[in-house]
Amino acid sequence: MHLLVVEDEDTIAEPLVEGLRAEGFEVTRVATGQGALDAPPADLVLLDVRLPDIDGFAVCRELRARSDVPIIMVTAKGEEIDRVVGLELGADDYVVKPFGLRELVARIRAVARRTQGRHEAREKLVAGTVEVDVPARRATVGGRELQLTLKEFDLLALLASEPGVVVERQRILREVWDTTWYGSSKTVDVHVSSLRKKLGDPTLIETVRGVGLRLRA
């Protein structure tokens, strides 16, 4: 598995790269946001937020616009708003410094497993006027194609896999954002609000107070 590590501090990057290589990963390290954008495709990106040239959030946005490569944000910022912003931009996970190598490796492997399963899915989901083509990663409502972020698509696909059934918030966090991230479920609310706007009918996604969400069948 080829990892792209985007970290400008040598004192952090060098032992991190050495440790990841010892765990069997192939690692390419760059020290700038532009370097990340110019780097050859990788299987997963470890992206620092504070970079000397381009803000890590902007790099995440650009990488996500190009592909659905898994991205784990790595930063010293621990405030909830930063996690929400990173996840909203399409990051798959968010690790706050300082972190242990074992924790990071576990997160990398968990994200890799989840995204591999996502890529290998072979099904088209239909819930009323909503259609989700999982392998093509395309979604439509009433025949109109939706322009969704990575997380919005995964959230819609999860709800569409069981139309009319209430999906608990903890399950949403577990399956869309990975089991190793236990942040506030406000992250779900941010994505649901955006998804409702794009669907054009806020009643298509129903909130069951204290339980979870349901896609109207």
Q: What's the mean pLDDT when you consider all of the chain?
A: 86
**Comparison of pLDDT for 101 and 115, the residue scoring more:** 101
- Integer Cα distance of 116 and 201 in angstroms: 31
Residue 38, pLDDT > 90, answer: yes
Share of the chain above pLDDT 70, in %: 90
Range of the domain at 73: 2-119
Which of 119, 142, 168 is the endpoint of a domain? 119
The whole-number pLDDT of residue 207 equals 93
Q: Is the pTM above the cut of 0.75?
A: no
Same domain, 14 and 105: yes
Confidence of residue 67 (pLDDT cuts 50, 70, 90): confident
CA atoms within 13 A on the CB side of 85: 14
The whole-number pLDDT of residue 202 equals 92
Name the nearest CA neighbour of 211 among 165, 160, 154: 165
3-class state of residue 72 by DSSP: strand
Residue 180, pLDDT > 50, answer: no
The whole-number pLDDT of residue 184 equals 54
pLDDT (mean) for 117-124: 58
Residue 109, pLDDT > 70, answer: yes
- Integer Cα distance of 203 and 206 in angstroms: 6
Same domain, 115 and 126: no
Name the nearest CA neighbour of 5 among 49, 63, 38, 48: 48
- Integer Cα distance of 187 and 185 in angstroms: 5
3-class state of residue 197 by DSSP: helix
Same domain, 142 and 211: yes
* Strand duo 93-96 + 205-208: pairing: unpaired
The whole-number pLDDT of residue 79 equals 65
**Which has the minimum average pLDDT: 66-70, 167-171, 181-185?**
181-185
Q: Read off the CATH number of the domain in which 11 is found.
A: 3.40.50.2300
The whole-number pLDDT of residue 117 equals 56
b (16+ CB within 10 A) / e for 180-192: bbeeeeebbeebb
Phi, psi of 60 (to 5 degrees): -60, -45
